[in-house]
Each structure stands twice: as structure tokens, then as C-alpha cells.
Structure 1
Amino acid sequence: MNQYDLVVIGSGPAGRRAAIQAAKLEKKVLVIEKGTRVGGVSVHTGTIPSKTLRETALNLTGWRERGFYGRSYRVKQEINADDLRRRLLITLDHEVEVLEHQFSRNRVQQMRGKAQFIDKNTIEIEKEDGEILRVGATSVLLAIGTKPYRPSHIPFDNDAIIDSDEILAIKELPRSMIVIGAGVIGIEYATIFSALDTAVTVVEPRDTMLDFIDKEIVEDFAYQLRDRNMKLIFGQTVEKVERDPGTKCRVTLQNGRVLTAEMVLFAAGRVGATDSINLSAAGLEADSRGRLKVDPETFQTAVPNIYAAGDVVGFPSLASTSMEQGRIAARHAVGAPASDPPQYFPYGIYAVPEISTCGLTEEEVQKRGIPYECGIAHFRETSRGHIMGLDSGLLKMIFSLKTRRLLGVHIVGEGATELVHIGQAVLNLKGTVEYFVENTFNYPTLAEAYKIAGLDAWNRMGELKFEKMEKKAAE
């Protein structure tokens, strides 16, 4: 039986980063992947496919140019499912090729097959050809990700009633769609298909959506969605989903309302893919959603030599944070020093429009009792926004009145997931409002919105800014 310093189960963002990190520390590493190709959910059904689908939809529909040429503008008049898949397959092939090369050059060993625990130090692998073998592991990292939650009362048929994994294989673009669940995945796909001119209705049992995002940003986002005729139904649970003999699906809500559409996408949560790895043999137990509890600094489970990272440990379930979790876990697992996870990291929601945020929301600042002021910039206030034909987009920054430090940055609009990193850097370096007021930004750029928002906040701070200027002059 081969012995490894670290066995990584799963090759998604957390698994790949962990394996490469351990290999760079000259440890013997094995990655076990049950799929036919490496990459995990992120590459094959999650992050990369959904973002590629978004980019393809925006390009083919001419979405970004409609501010100038009108809502009827199209790059391609008739768009079908094959048009969307063509770019997707090219992108996925490239991602897999890059990952294979990274594993190869770092001497990371790979094995295809289904893994399960025999005990906390022994993993059994059932290979594709039926061969079964065992490997020993000093440490194990579980990076097994999640799969769509599929409740028994939803009659999934892999055709018209589907989950977020199956949506990538649809045969035709629906004229109408009902999305059940207004979480990140549901909202991303709902807005992407809306951009493709599908009539979309979103149903969410909670009274709000995206609760971890600043409320003002969510309100602006919801306004933009309703403005393009998307229906958002909050505070209603789904009682029944059924498919008519014809081409329609019927969704019955708690209040008796009946909705009809050509397709239903159920995107109300995901569960950890822990049901097939025999956790009990290793002394572990998952929660009701299949997730594992870990130490938030080391990502160590209740069993000292077993770690878990990525979506299987729950929120925030981002590819970016999963990579960092995997790297930190790998260093701890092989006995190397590791820094603490960063205090502030960005969230990115690749809807249409994008949302990105870093730091404290206005609601969190209020809850902590911190005196604060906000600065806001609309993208239409920037020259770059005029050039791009933007009539929407908002950047909001929150500053402490006492220290003038940036507390949070929140963006909705074109390029939000790229722009947020400026605010992230200032946050982590404990920068103040003066950074945005006194610095020069390229012109014309959307990044100029930072200066506009900074000046807005600085002007609102009243006498505090003059005290700062007098002190600086005296020095």
C-alpha cells in the first residue's frame, strides 16, 4: 500500500491549491478525483461554466451596447443552446489542460476513482475499471464540494424541471422560466436568461434576497431587474411543481397562486457531497446539509489529521476563498507555518448586472454602533460610463467618522467584480477617505467612481475634514 504525506479528495479550487501547495513543500501528494476529468464542480458545472455562459450571453445579445443602440439591438439575431455551449466547451478544455499541467510540473500524483475511508489514515479507491486499491495517508484533505439540493417533492426530469447542474445541458433556450431560490446561483442564472430575453420569474420563500449584501445595493439591483420586466416574488414557498402534458410547467405557491413557464430551475441550496465517502469510518459526521465543521483558522476537522476546505465547509462557498482555505489547510496538514485567513475578502456575484462587496455593510456598521458616513458614485457620473453607454451602476463606500478609515465597499454594475479590488486593498491596508480624495485615477475609467464616492463622503463629513487639514498643515 502506497503511503502519502497528503491525500486530497477532490480537485476543485480547494483541492488543487492544497495539492500544489503541499507538493511545493516537497511532500508526497495524491489527488483523487471521481470525475472523468480534473477540476471538480468549479470547472465542470459551477464557477467556470456559469461565468462563461454569462459572458457568451452578453456578447451574443449585444447587451453591453444597448445603452447606445436600443433594447432591440442584437449581435446574433437567433441564439440557441448550441451557441452557448460552443464557447463553454472551449473554455472547459483549456481549464482542464492548465490544471493537468500544473499537477504534472509540481509532481502531484493523480488517480481517477471513488474514494472512501477505511479508517482515518486509509483510503480505498474504486477505479473506473472496477479495480479497488488502498492508499495510506498521514493527512487527508476533503475538498469534495457540494451538489444541488434535490427535495423529494420536486419532480426533476432533466428536461423541463432541472437543477443548476443540468441547466448547462439544456437542448433549447426556453421562452419562459421560473427560478425557485433567490440565492447566488439562482439569481445568477435568472439574470443571465433574462438577458437572453427569456421571461423570468424568481420565487423565494424569504422576504429578501442576498441578505449578506448591503441593503442599498440589493435595492438598486432589484430595481434594475424589475425595470427589465423580471418578476420577483418574495415570502412565498412552493407547494407543488408539475409538468403539463404539453410544454408548460406549473408551479403552485403557498398562497394559491399558480405560475406557468416552459422551464423550472430549482436552485434553492446545495448539499455537501459527503454521503459516499464513509465518514463514520474516520470518526466524522456531517450536518443535515452534508457539511463538515472545521476550525476556521486551520480548517482542521474533529479528527486531527483530517482537514476540509471549500464548499463542503459552508459559507462563503466561493472559488476564491476555497483556494485560500485549501492552501492554509495544506500547510497545517504537513506541519508548515501558515498565515491566518485574511480579514477582508471580496464576494463576487456574477449576475447581470454584477455585484461585488468587501468589508462591512451599512447594516453591520449600524449594529456595531460605529459612527459612519457614506459616499456614493453612480457610473453615469463618470466619463467612462458615458462612453460605455451605462445608465446604471453604483459604487458605495462606508467610512468611520472617528478614524476616517474605509469600512466597506459595495458595487453593483458593469465590472463590479474587477473594481472591488481597489477597495479591498485599501481596506486591508487600513486606508482612509483621504486616499481616494488625494489620489489620481486613470481617466476615463470606471475606477474614477472611487474618487467621486470618496469626495462625496469627504464633503459629508463636515468639520472633521477641516480638523484633519489643519492638523496636516501644522505638521
Structure 2
Amino acid sequence: MNHYDLIVVGSGPAGRRAAIQAAKLGKKVVVIEQGKRVGGVSVHTGTIPSKTLRETALNLTGWRERGFYGRAYRVKQEISADDLRRRLLITLDHEVEVLEHQFARNRVQHIRGTASFVTPDTLEILKDDGETMHVAGTSILLAVGTKPFRPDYIPFDGKSVIDSDELLDIEELPRSMVVIGAGVIGIEYATIFSALDTAVTVIDPKTTMLDFIDKEIIEDFTYQLRDRNMKLLLGQRAEKVERLPDGKVSVKVDSGRTIVTDMVLFAAGRMGATESLNLPAAGLEADSRGRLKVNPETFETSVKGIFAAGDVVGFPSLASTSMEQGRIAARVAVGEIAMEPQKYFPYGIYAVPEISTCGLTEEEMKERGIPYECGIARFRETSRGHIMGLDTGMLKLIFSLKTRRLLGVHIVGEGATELVHIGQAVLNLKGTVEYFVENTFNYPTLAEAYKIAGLDAWNRMGVGPKEAPVATAQSTDSTATPLPDKPAPAKAKLAASK
């Protein structure tokens, strides 16, 4: 039996980052991947495909140029599913090639097959040809990701009633679509297909959507969706989905409405892909959604030597945070010190338009009792926005009145997921409103919106820079829930605890 310092199950963002980190520390590492190619859900059905689909749709429809040339403007008049898939395949091939090269360069072994526990430190691997083999590891990291939740009452057929993984294989673009689920995945795909001129209806039993985003940003976002005739049936539940003889699909809603559409996309949640792992043999148990509970500092499960990272551990379920979780877990697993990442990380929603956020929302400021002021900038107020033909988009900054520190940055509009990193840096470096007022930004750029929003807040705060209190490492903005000023190291050397 082959023995490894670290066995990684899954080659998505968490798995590949963990494997490469451990290999760079001189450890013997193997990655077990059940898919046909490495990369996991992120590369093949999730992050990369959905963002590639979005970019292709915006390019071929001429979406970004319609502010100048009108709504009828299109780069390609007849857009097919094959047009979308062509760019997708090129992108995926590149991602897989890069990942395979990283594994080879760092001498990470790769085994294709389905892994399941025999004992807490031993896995059985079932290969495609039916052959089985066993591997043992000092530590094991589970980075198996998630799969779409598929309830029994939805008649999935892979053509007209599909989940988010099947969306990439559709044969033709629907003229109408119902999306069940107003979470991140549902909203991303709903807005992408709306940009392709598909008539989209979104159904969700909750009366609100994306509740973790600042409410003012969501109000602006919702206005933009309704303005282009997307139907948002919030607070309503899809009771029955039925395929009709003519190939269409009927969706009955508990409000009494019945919607007939070409396609139904069910995107109401995902499940941890832990079914095949035989967790009881390792002394582990997943929750009702197939997720694993871990120590949030070390990502070790309740069983010593077994770690989990990425979407399988739940929120925030981002590729970026999954990578950091994998890196931290790998360092702790092989007995190295692992520092926690910076407190504030950005959340990106690749809808049309994009949304990105970092730090506290206005609602959280109120809950914590922190006196605050906001600054707003509209993209149309910037010269760059006018050059690009933007008439929508906004940036919102939230500052503490006590320390004048930036505590939240929230953006909706073109380039939001790129622009947010300026605010993220200022947040983590404890910068104040004066940074935005006194700093020089390239002109003309959308980043100039930071200066506009900073000036807006500065004027409302009514205190000049010379009179502003200096923020210190000991300053806090909440008496109820203090904000930590310095990340603590993860409780580290696992070897010491064994």
C-alpha cells in the first residue's frame, strides 16, 4: 500500500491549492479525482464555465455597447448554444492544462477514481476500469465540493428541466426560461440569459434575495432587472413542474399563477458531494446537506488527521476563499504554522450587472450600533462611465464616524468584482476617509468613483482631515461586538496535538 504525507480528495480550488502547498513544503502528496479531468466543479461546471458563459454572452450580444448604439445592437445577430460552448471549451482546456502542469512541476501525484474510507487513515479507490487500490495517509483532506440539490418533485430530463450543471450542455437557447431559486447561482444564470434576450422569470419562496448584500445595492440591482423586463416572483413557491406534450414546461406557483416556458432551471441549493466517501468508516457524519463541520481556524474535522475545505464545509462557498482554506488546512495537516487570512474578503456575484461587496453592510452597522456615514458615487458621474456608455452602476462606501475608518464597500455595475479590491485593501489596512479624498486615481477610470464617494461621505461627516482622530490598533467601532484589529495565528502544529 502506498503511503502519503497528505491525501487530497478532489482537485477543485481547495484541493489543488492544498496539494501544491504541501508539495512545496517537501511532502509526498497525492490527489484523487473522480472526474475525467482535474479541476473539479469549479473548472468544469461551476466558476469558470459560468463566468466564461457570461463574458461570451456580453460580447456576442454587444451588451456593453448598447448605451451608445441602442438596444437592437448586436455583434452577432443569431447566437446559438454552440457559439457559447466554443469559447467555453477553449477556456476549460487551458485551465486543465495549467493545473496539470502545476501538479507535474510540483510532483503531485494524481489518481483518477472514486475514493471511500476503509479506516480513518486509509482510502479505497475504485478506478474507471473496475480495478481497486488502497492508499494510506498521515493526513487526509476532503475537498470534494458540491453537487446540485435535486428534489424528487422536479422532473429533471436534462433538456427542458435542468439543474445548473446540465445548463452547459443545452442544445439550443430557450426563448423563455423559469429559474427556480434566487440565490447566487440562480440569479447569475437568470441575468446572463436575460442578456441573451431570453424572457426570464425568477421564482423564490423568500420575499427578498441575496440578503447578505447591502440592501441599497440590492434595490438598485432589482430596479435594473425589472427595467429590462425580468419577472421576479419573490415570496412565491413553485408547487408543481410538469413537462407538456408540445415540449414546453408548465410551472404552477402557489399564488395561483401558471407559467408556460421553454425551459426550467432549478437552482435552489447544492449538496456536499460526500455520499460516496463512506464517512462512517472514518467516524465522520455529514449534515442534511452533505456538508462537514470543521474547526474554522484549522479546518480539521472531529476526527484527528482528517480535514475538509471548500464548498463542502459551507459558507462562503467561494473559489477564492476555498483556495485559502485549502492552503491553511494543508499547512496545519503537515505540521506547519498557518496564519489566518485577512479579516475582510470580497464576495463577487457575476450577474449582469456584477455585484461585489467587502466588509460590513449598512444593516450590520445598525445592528452593531456603530455610528456611521455613507458616501455614494454613480458610474455615470465619472468620465470613464460616460465614455463606456454607462447609465447604471454605483459604488457605496461606509465609514465609522468615531474613527473615520472605512468599514464597508459595496458595488453594483460594470467591473464591480475588480473594483472592490481597492476598498478591500483600505479595509484591511485600516484606512480612513482621508485616503479617498487625498489620493490620486488614474483619470478617466471607474476607480475614480472611490474619490467621488469618499468626498460625498467626507462632506457629510463635516470634519476636516486635520481634525480627524487618528485610528490606532486599539480603536474599536463597536462596544457591543468589537472588531478584531489583528488576525490571530491558526492554532497550529497539528503534530503537537497528535
Q: Which amino acid aligns with 1:225?
A: L
SS of 1:303's equivalent? Answer: coil
Q: Which residue of structure 1 lines up, in the alignment, with residue 304 of structure 2? A: 304
Distance in 2 of aligned mates of 1:46 and 1:469: 46
Q: Distance in 1 between matches of 2:56 and 2:391?
A: 22
Q: Does the residue aligned with 1:377 lie in a helix, a strand or coil?
A: strand
Q: What is the identity, as a one-letter code, of the residue corresponding to 2:110?
A: Q
Q: Is 2:378–2:449's contact at 8 Å kept on the other side of the alignment? A: yes
In structure 2, C-alpha distance between the alignment counterparts of 1:87 and 1:319, rounded to whole Å: 21
Q: 1:468: Cα distance to partner?
A: 2.7
1:350 aligns with 2:355: no
1:181-200 equivalences in 2 (<5 Å): 181-200=181-200
**Structure 1 residues 195-245: Cα deviation after superposition (integer angstroms, max 9, x where no partner):** 000000000110100010000000000000000000001111111000110
CA separation of 1:469 and 1:266: change in aligned 2, threshold 3 A: closer
2:111 aligned residue: 111
Aligned position for 2:286: 286
Shift of 1:248: 1.6
- Residue 62 of structure 1 corresponds to 62
Q: Do residues 407 (structure 1) and 379 (structure 2) align? A: no
CA distance in 2, matches of 1:90, 1:467: 56
Once the two structures are superposed, the pairs formed by residues 32-431 of structure 1 within 5 Å of their partners are: 32-431=32-431
C-alpha contact 2:404 2:468 (8 A) present in aligned 1: no
Moved more, 181-190 or 254-263: 254-263
CA distance in 2, matches of 1:4, 1:331: 15
What is the match of residue 462 of structure 1? Answer: 462
- Give the Cα separation in 2 of the matches to 1:296 and 1:236: 35
- Percent identical among aligned pairs is 80
> TM (normalized to structure 1)?
0.98
Q: CA deviation at 1:463?
A: 3.8
Q: Which amino acid is the alignment partner of residue 416 of structure 1? A: A
**Residue segments in structure 1 that go unaligned for 5+ positions in a row:** 471-475
The alignment partner of 2:265 has SS state of strand
Deviation string for 1:10-64 (max 9, x for gaps)? 0000000000000000000000000010000000000000000000000000000
Take 2:421 and 2:245, find their aligned partners in 1: how far apart are those partners? 50
What letter is aligned with 1:32? Answer: I
Q: What secondary structure sits across from 2:364 in the alignment?
A: helix
- Following the alignment from structure 2 to structure 1, what is the Cα–Cα distance between the partners of residues 18 and 466? 50
User: Pairwise CA RMSD of aligned residues?
Assistant: 1.0
8 Å CA contact 1:292–1:308 kept in 2: the answer is: yes
SS of structure 1 residue aligned to 2:225:
helix
* Match status 1:26 vs 2:26: yes
1:17 aligns with 17
Residue type at the aligned position of 1:443? Y
Q: Check the 8 A contact 1:297/1:341 in 2, yes or no.
A: no
1:466 CA drift (Å):
6.4
Per-residue CA deviations over 1:116-151 (Å, capped at 9, x if unaligned) read: 000110000011111101011100000000000000
Deviation at 1:341, TM superposition (A): 3.0
| Cα separation, 2, equivalents of 1:211 and 1:246 | 38
Deviations 1:131-176 (A, max 9, x none): 1010111000000000000000000000100000000000000000
Q: Distance in 2 between matches of 1:463 and 1:18?
A: 47
After TM superposition, give the deviation of residue 464 of structure 1 in Å.
Answer: 6.2
Secondary structure in 1 aligned to 2:18? helix
- Measure, in 2, the Cα distance between the counterparts of 1:405 and 1:163: 43
Q: Are the equivalent residues in 1 in contact too, given 2:393–2:414 (CA < 8 A)?
A: yes
Could you say if the C-alpha distance between residues 220 and 86 of structure 1 is closer, same or farther in structure 2, counting changes exceeding 3 Å?
A: same
Q: Which secondary structure does the structure 2 equivalent of 1:447 belong to?
A: helix
Supply the distance in 1 between the matched residues of 2:455 and 2:193 (Cα, whole angstroms). Answer: 37
TM-score by length of 2: 0.94
Provide the rounded CA distance (Å) in 2 between the counterparts of 1:370 and 1:87: 47
Q: Count residues with an aligned counterpart.
A: 470
Partner of 1:473: none
Residue 88 of structure 1 aligns with an amino acid whose one-letter code is: L
Taking the aligned partners of 1:232 and 1:65, their CA distance within structure 2 comes to 26
In structure 2, list runs of 5 or more residues that go unmatched.
471-498
Q: How many angstroms apart in 1 are the aligned matches of 2:389 and 2:298?
A: 46
Rounded Cα–Cα distance in structure 2 between residues aligned with 1:202 and 1:120:
44
- Note if contact 1:9-1:142 (Cα within 8 Å) is conserved in structure 2: yes
Following TM superposition, by how much is the alpha carbon of 1:355 offset from its aligned partner in structure 2, in angstroms?
0.3
Superposed displacement of residue 465, structure 1: 5.1
Q: Structure 1: how far apart are the matches of 2:393 and 2:256?
A: 36
Q: Structure 2: how far apart are the matches of 1:458 and 1:153?
A: 54
- Residue 6 of structure 1 aligns with which residue? 6
Match of 2:439 in 1: 439
SS of aligned partner of 1:358: strand
Matched letter for residue 104 of structure 2: S
The list of structure 1 runs, each at least 4 consecutive aligned residues, that deviate by more than 2 angstroms after superposition, is 463-470
More deviation in 16-25 or 125-134? 125-134
1:270, 1:328 → 2: CA distance? 24
